[in-house]
Amino acid sequence: MGTWLVSIVILAVTAGQSWGIFEVSLEAGGASLEVSGFEAFPVIGTLIGLQLIAILLSFITSPVVTRVVGAVVAGLVLFNVGDVLLNAWSMVNLSAQRDLGDRTGIVQDIASSDFVIASSVSWWSSAYLIAGLLNIVVLVGITIGWKDLPSRAKSKPDRDLPEDLWGDQK
């Protein structure tokens, strides 16, 4: 369970960092515009929240339920990692375009915008891909049973009691 939680934290940290930085002109506010993974791909927050709920549910449900949820979430994270791999820069640009449009009232493509002076991409999107793959490995491990999952506490402790203590005394 600890490995699962650590992989979620790594996923959240890499998604929360700035994936793209855009320097804007004074007409648009003159500050840098940073786009995080959560802003470019809002579904990342949902996947992290779903995994945290699955961890909490694993304490009150049977391990089979946790394994099924782990398999479903692994598929969703795999789809998200593929989406980030194929569309990271375009989604970062789209988020920056939307933010710049909110600032200026003019929606333009970032590549041809008069308000963008310079742009750079950071390595955090690549770090997110690695963290996503690590998270998938952990989820697959949970699904096929590499790690023991917490099970519900038994209501009666298992004890070896004789069936009839006084049967021979009659």
Q: What is the pLDDT of residues 32-78, one digit of tens each?
A: 889 999 999 999 999 999 999 989 988 998 888 889 999 999 999 99
Residue 132 has pLDDT above 90, yes or no: yes
3-state secondary structure of 41: coil
Which CATH number among 1.10.150, 1.20.140, 1.10.1660, 1.10.10 corresponds to the domain 2-150?
1.20.140
Question: For the chain, where are the alpha helices, taking DSSP H only?
Answer: 2-16, 37-40, 43-58, 63-104, 124-144
Q: Left if phi > 0, otherwise alpha if psi is -120 to 50, otherwise beta: which for 156?
A: beta
Q: Which sequence spans correspond to the domains of the chain?
A: 2-150
Tokens of 147: 């790690």
Rounded to an integer, what distance in angstroms lies between the CA atom of residue 29 and that of residue 118? 14
